[in-house]
Amino acid sequence: MATNFPASLDTLTNPTSSDSLSSPSHSAQHANVNDAVEALQAKVGADSSAVTSSLDYKVAQLEALGTAVAFTPSWTNFTPGNAVESWHYVRVNNLLYFGGVTILGTTSSVTGFMEMDFPVGTQVSTDGAPAGQASYGMTGLAAYGQLDQQASDLRFFVSTAGSTYVQQALTSATVPATWTSTNSIRAWGVVAIS
């Protein structure tokens, strides 16, 4: 009998002390148990298994959930230079949680609206969907805004006073103010990714 495991459980015949070696077949008993053990090993998997259907692989994936991963952002319209950056993300299935801070240095420069690439994955929401919040520590000014998703990055906005409502303006070399050394960019949020 070949093993039915893991599709279903095997029903193995246990010999008694009065059974002969041929009834049940001694060699068949060994073959059946060997097949079942091999199927168990395949299902459980070896240590550090890369087989995605093995329990070892699946447990490793579950244990990795919630583990913060450090990353260095890839920016558009912002050159960090000697900035100090501390950013982390956590991926839980198709959700990407992220947050961090960049403190500008003497060689940092902002040349237009700032965007930061997702550290992993590609967005599954539509462009412009809110993704999180940002705060900007400027000399003599604290400003706040939101992050919007683009195809593979996050676009940084700053809140401004409109005639009736708070509006979002794109960051730039002079928005929310002229950037200088020790200014900071902090952001946090969550996006759905593929």
Q: What is the structure's pLDDT at 183?
A: 96
The reported pTM is: 0.70
DSSP E strands, the chain: 69-71, 75-79, 84-92, 95-103, 109-117, 130-138, 141-149, 153-161, 166-170, 184-192
pLDDT (tens digit per residue) in 14-49: 788 787 877 777 777 777 788 878 888 888 888 888
Q: What is the structure's pLDDT at 89?
A: 95
| C-alpha 139 chain-centroid distance | 34
Residues of the chain with pLDDT under 50: none
Q: What is the structure's pLDDT at 1?
A: 65
pLDDT (tens digit per residue) in 48-71: 888 888 888 888 877 877 789 999
